[in-house]
Structure formats: C-alpha cells, structure tokens
Chain A
Amino acid sequence: MSESFAVDVQNVSKSFGTVKALDGVTMRIRQGEIYGLLGPNGAGKTTLIRMIVGIVEAHAGTVTVLSQRMPNVAVLRHVGYMTQAAALYPGLSVEENVRFFAAINGAEKGVKEALELVELYERRGSVVSTLSGGMRQRCSLACALVHKPELLLLDEPTVGVDPQLRVQFWESFRRMAEAGTTIIVSSHVMDEAERCQRLGLIQYGRLLAEGSPNEIRAMAGTQNLEEAFLTLAGQKAS
C-alpha cells in the first residue's frame, strides 16, 4: 500500500442473526476527505460506522483506522463520533455535556471553541432536556469534535437541523477537512451528498457504487443524484 488512508475497510462482513448487515464491503478513505455514506434505512450505514469506531467487530475482513487495526482504544482519542440520536446526558447543561466529552479525551481547552462552532455558547447553561431537537443535535456535534479529532464520523448529523444551520454545519465540515480532518458522514439527504468529495452508495449491506457526485451521475446517466441513486440501486436489485 503506497498511499496512507485514514480509514481502510477491507472486505468486511457482519451479520446480526440471519440478517446480513454488511456483506463484503471494501472502501478506502483518504485523509482530509469528506466521504458520504448514502443508502436507505437499514442499508448498513450505521453498522459500518460503528465498525470503524470499533464498537462492532467484523465477522470477516479488517478495518484499519489511522494506521491502527480496529478495535483499538488508543486510536479513539483521535476519532470523534456523533451517534444518530443525539446521545447526551439530559440532566446536564450543554456546557457540562461538552466538558465531559472533552475530559474523557483529555481536551478541556476546546470546550469554548466547540460551543461557538455550533452556536450554543450563549445557551451553554441550558439543561439539555429543555432544548429543542435541533439544539440537541448541535450539542451532540460539539461533543463529537471538542477534542479536534483527525477522523470525524457523523451518523446523520443534520436530522432536525434547520436549513440555515445545516449550511453552517457543512461550512465548518469543509473548513475542518481543509485543515486535514477526515470526515465520514452518513445521510439520505441528497443535497448534502453534493457537498461530499466522494460518495459510497450502500444497499443491503453492499457497496453499490463509489465516486464523486459527478462520477455517480455519469455512471447512472442521470441529471441528479437522487435519480442516480435510484437507478443504481434498481440495477443491482434486478
């Protein structure tokens, strides 16, 4: 392997009972890349992300993150993970939540910056249980990036976030990627997919297609990504 990848997934498979969540997936994600995982609900996006952070172990295949074979606890210091549902402590304030995740990563200095990035600095004293869904999502994002990870995994980060803030989210993702952070983001919102440098289309636990948004459109011969996705998914299914 000449080039070093931030994430190197080789031929991984995982089943839950009789359900094949992932079936021989191989993907390599370069450092500083924004990689979009697209696919319908239940396609295996979350399982793949959980495998990359080492919470789920593959039945077959290997996952390498920042040159470390997963699961590996030490490498997680450089990984940020935002779960699908805003996983926060409802009884703590915004700042207390962010401070906690900063502390377990040894990065207390980043709290203010993270709060400002998600525009919750003014609301830092609010208890999470009193916040709206969108604000919780923002707080959750702050918790995931407070330690300035080299690899940021975002599982549907913009669910419940209003359009203006979504634009700001993506602007910060872009800036972070330019600074060298690798970002893997799952989504089924197609206008978000446009903002990714590369996309992986996942269905039934398989990687159907991979490439830049333009390449994906060209592959399917369609004008927009949504149609491209439906076309590609339909071809494989039949």
Chain B
Amino acid sequence: MSGHRIAAITRRLLQGFRRDRRTLALLFVAPIVILGLLGYLIRGSASAPAVGIANEDQGPLGPIVASALGDSTMIKASAIQAADGDSRLKDGSLVAYIFFPADFSARAQQGTIAPEVHLEGSQPGTAGPVLQALQQALATIAAQRTGSSLKVEPKVIYLYGGPSLDRLDYFGAAFIGLIVFFLVFVITTVAFLNERSQGTLERLMASPLRRGEIVVGYMLGFTVLALIQAAEVLTFCLAVLKVHNQGNVLLIFGVEALMAITAVNLGIFLSMFARTEFQAVQFIPLVIVPQFILSGILFPISTEPKPLQLVSDVLPLTYAVSGLRDIMIKGADLTWTSLQIDAGVVAGFCVVLIVAGIATLRRRIA
C-alpha cells in the first residue's frame, strides 16, 4: 500500500467532482430538498382529514360528542345530513363521516356507546385520525359517567375496501404504477443518452430521419418492453401477492400502459439534459423521489399542506395512482368521471412530453 498512490486516486476523484457542479449540487442540495419536503408534508399538514358529523340523536349525548369532535384538531369536522354522507364520500369531499343514530343517547344509558363511523376506505392512513378523534370525544362523556361501565362499540363501515384490506392492498395498487414508471424511466433515459454519447444520434441526425420519427420510434420500442413488464408486475401482484382487486384487470393494464408511455417520453425528454449516465441517474432523486412522496402513495393528497397539493396536482404519477386505486379498491370502470379524468390527464402528459421531447431534440443537437 502506498499512501501516495492512494492519495492520487482520492485527489483525482475530488478534482472530477469540482468540475461537475451538477453532481455537487445534487449531493448537497437534494437531501435538504427531500427531507424538507417530507418534514413539511408530515409536520405541516395543516389540513386534517375532512370528516362529516351527522347527528340524529334525540338525546343529549349526540350534540355533546359532536361539539367535542368539532373542537378536535385531528380532524376537520363539519355537520352534514346523514343521507348525504355516502355521496360526500364518493365525491371525495369527505374522507369519513360519523353518524349518531336516533337512539344514541338511549343506548348509552344502557351502557353501550355505538356511533357509526363511515370510512371512504380507498386511501391508507385516514382511518387512524378519525377513530382517534372519536375516541377522545367519547372519553369526555365516559369521564362524566364514572361508576357504571360503558362499552364503546363504534360500528365501522367502509364504503370501499374494508377491514380485510391490509397495507399491501393499499400500496399494491399504487406500486404497480410506481414500479413501472420508475424502471421504464431509468432505462429510457440511459438508452437515449447512450445514443447521444456513442455518436449514433449524430448519425441519425445526418440521415433522412425526422426528429419526430426518432422520438416516436423510441417510444414504441420501449413501450413494447414496458408493456411486457407491466403485464408481469400485474400478474405477480394479483396472482402471487393476491393484492385486492375490485376492478377490471384490462383497465388496470390500460392505466399502467399510459403510465409506461409517459415514463418513456419523460426519459427521452430529460436525457437531453444529461451529458453522462451519471448525470442521468441523478434525475432519480429529482424526478422519482418527489413523485413518490407527493403522488398520494403514502399520504392522501387531501391532507397535504396546500402548496404541496398544487405540486401533487401537476405530477403524472398522482393521476395514475388515483386511477389505479379507483379501479382496484373502488372497482371503478370507464363510466366513472374520476377515472376518465385520471386517464385523460395521464394521456395528456404523454402528448405534452412527446412534443417536448421532439422540440428539445432539435435544440440540443443544432
């Protein structure tokens, strides 16, 4: 071992980085951005889940609990009519509603507190705060009635999914989209970059090929691979992992395919901005990680801080995840407006990225 020779290697490495400002920026800026984003997302979630309170109790207890829920900081409670509950869950304006039936007080007298908790159920992590807020609100009554035993038996009713759904069922739907998006994006970016670095792109430019033909040809080639991959991922999730699925398998595949085509075009577009494979890989923390955090896979978008919701709204993965959950957990079909919107937006991203890719190809080679 020669310290001198080792030092030469170390020095050479650091010298290379000194000129690669982008890598340096990534190394020191990306962690702050990603952690900052996560911190803001988790701590800054000002918007608690929107919960409706439908009180039909003829006794005194319902209003007491309802007002205790109204004071809770864990949820954003609002009074609703019991009859509107399910439709409010469906249109997404509520994640849950709590219903106090007419005999709520009467049954409490007999020792059983039995409110109904209706959960939308298609997104993970929303049931927790609702049940917790309810528990706290009920504790106030329980404290008033010391002595006799009170049984708290909230009846939990799911609009979609149900208690049998585990984490994998929630995340599986989203991950099917994420995995395809991620891998296809990486492969396309690096392959298109190779075309540039090995000089063949220059040759293509000096041929009768039009730029649109190059981009569309690439898109079709990678789409073939991506579709095979999507089919494999889907089969594995449904047949081996037994991820819960309410909907049509072909529809899931359709959304995945749109996602894959978007990833291909995003990869082509972004590869124009990388000079080396190293720089291309750097797009992962910049492009993939924020989408992973903000696309509603981990946290429902409705509970994100407002500024982040705006970001979520312009990420293609957000719509793919929402579409996949609609199909797999809610059993949506193409007659659902929400699914039409999700699929339409993802398709729109595709078109925009194809055009952007063609435009950038022109500018970067001339």
Q: A residues within 8 Å of B by Cβ?
A: 50, 53-57, 73-74, 76-77, 79, 81, 83-90, 101, 104-106, 143
Contacts and interface: CB of A to CB of B under 8 A. Distances in A.
Contact of A85 (B199, B205, B208): B199
Contact of B198 (A79, A87, A101): A87
Contacts of B202: 50, 55, 83, 87
B366 A55 contact: yes
A73 B212 CA distance: 12
B203 A101 contact: yes
Contacts of B366: 55-57
B206 A81 contact: yes
Contact of A104 (B198, B199, B207, B365): B207
Given A55-B365, A55-B366, A88 B200 contact: yes
Which 5 pairs show the lowest CB-CB distances between chains A and B? A87-B199, A53-B206, A81-B206, A77-B208, A87-B200
A79 B200 CA distance: 16
A57 to B, nearest CB: 6
A87 B207 CA distance: 13
Interface in B24-50: none
Contacts of B199: 83-87
Interface of B: 198-200, 202-210, 365-366
Contacts of A90: 198
B277 to A, nearest CB: 14
Contact of B206 (A57, A79, A86, A88): A79
A123 B365 CA distance: 33
B208 A104 contact: yes
A143 B208 contact: no
A12 B209 CA distance: 25
Contacts of B200: 87-89
A139 B202 CA distance: 16
The main secondary structure of chain B at its interface with chain A is loop
Nearest to A53: B206
A105 B206 contact: no
Contacts of B203: 81, 83, 87, 101, 143
A73 B209 CA distance: 7
A218 B365 CA distance: 41
Contacts of B198: 87-90
Contacts of A143: 203
A87 B198 CA distance: 6
Contacts of B205: 53, 55
A8 to B, nearest CB: 18
Contacts of A81: 203, 206-207
A88 B201 CA distance: 10
B195 to A, nearest CB: 9
A76 B211 CA distance: 13
B365 A76 contact: no
A48 to B, nearest CB: 14
Nearest to A144: B203
Nearest to A71: B366
Contacts of B208: 73-74, 76-77, 104-106
Contacts of A85: 199
A55 to B, nearest CB: 5
A138 B210 CA distance: 26
Given A50-B202, A54-B206, A87-B203, 7 more contacts: A55-B205, A55-B365, A76-B207, A81-B203, A101-B203, A104-B208, A104-B209
Contacts of B210: 73
